[in-house]
Amino acid sequence: MNYPRLVFAAVAALIVFFAWGFLTEGWLIRKDFAALAALYRTSDLQMKYMPFGLASVLFPPKSVY
């Protein structure tokens, strides 16, 4: 197996994933999110709970299915 090629493909996919997310959510439909800003947490609260969100992605519960 060609590991450098696999790593390059994974990095390229990650870049495309974040670029696509920025284009769609951060640029094209930003005004739709802004209209509903009262429904979301404030930036301070988002940053407070961010470590828990990251941990839940890295360590999901055993009974997912």
Encode pLDDT of 3-57 as tens digits. 999 999 999 999 999 999 899 988 898 888 888 888 988 889 999 999 998 888 8
pTM of the model: 0.56
The number of CA neighbours under 13 Å toward the Cβ of 12 is 6
62 pLDDT exceeds 80? no
Q: Give me the pLDDT at residue 38, please.
A: 87
Contacting residues for 48 by C-beta, under 8 A, at least 6 apart: none
pLDDT of residue 11: 93
